[in-house]
Amino acid sequence: TVDEIDNHAPLFNDGLGLDSIDALELGLAIRKKYNVKIEAENEEVVKIFSSVATLADYIKTALG
């Protein structure tokens, strides 16, 4: 369940186990819901997608 997800756990590999397709789908969902585009060329993209917490922080910052 959502309550069982550690917001600081890694999204990929040994964390929540997401893969590159999941990252693309997540990026598209974020763009659709929040109108926030995360560019693949962004040097910070690995950091942005490192956990639920870092992703949420990026979205909050982008929304101002």
Q: How many domains does the chain have?
A: 1
3-11: average pLDDT = 92
11-19: average pLDDT = 91
Rg (CA), the chain: 11
Quote the CA–CA distance of 46 and 42 in Å, as a whole number: 9
5-30: average pLDDT = 93
Any idea what the CATH number is for the domain that residue 11 is in?
A: 1.10.1200.10
pTM for the predicted model, two decimal places: 0.85
Range of the domain at 53: 2-63
Per-residue HEC secondary structure of the chain comes to CHHHCCCCCECECCCCCECHHHHHHHHHHHHHHHCCCCCCCCCCHHHHCCEHHHHHHHHHHHHC
pLDDT digits (tens, 9 = 90+) for 27-47: 999 999 999 999 888 889 999
